[in-house]
Amino acid sequence: MRGVVVLGALLLALGAFYVLLRGGSASNPKHALEATGPALDDIDAKSRAAMRELLREAGEEE
C-alpha cells in the first residue's frame, strides 16, 4: 500500500514538473501575456480613475 502512495506522489511530482517546464497551458507564454495586456490596462485605468475620484471627494470634505 505504501508503494502505491509513493508511486502516486512521484507521478504527481513529475507531472507538475512537466507542466512547469512547458509553461502551463499556454504553448507560447509571451503570446498569452500579450492577449491579456489590454484587459489589464483597462482595469488599471478604471482603478486609477476611481482612486482619483476618491481623493477628490476626500479633499472636498476637509
Mean pLDDT over each residue of the chain, to the nearest integer: 80
Total of domains in the chain: 1
Q: Which three cell numbers stand for residue 1?
A: 500500500
pLDDT, position 8: 93
Q: Give the whole-angstrom CA distance, residue 25 versus residue 22.
A: 8
Residues with Cβ < 8 Å from 29, sequence gap 6 or more?
23
Which tops the pLDDT comparison, 48 or 62?
48
Structural domain harbouring 39: 25-62
pLDDT, position 13: 94
Does residue 15 fall inside a structural domain? no
Does residue 59 fall inside a structural domain? yes
- Model confidence pLDDT, tens digit, residues 12-32: 999 988 888 876 555 555 555
Rg of the chain over CA atoms, in angstroms? 23
Q: Which three cell numbers stand for residue 40?
A: 489589464
pLDDT of 44 > 60? The answer is yes
Which tops the pLDDT comparison, 61 or 50?
50
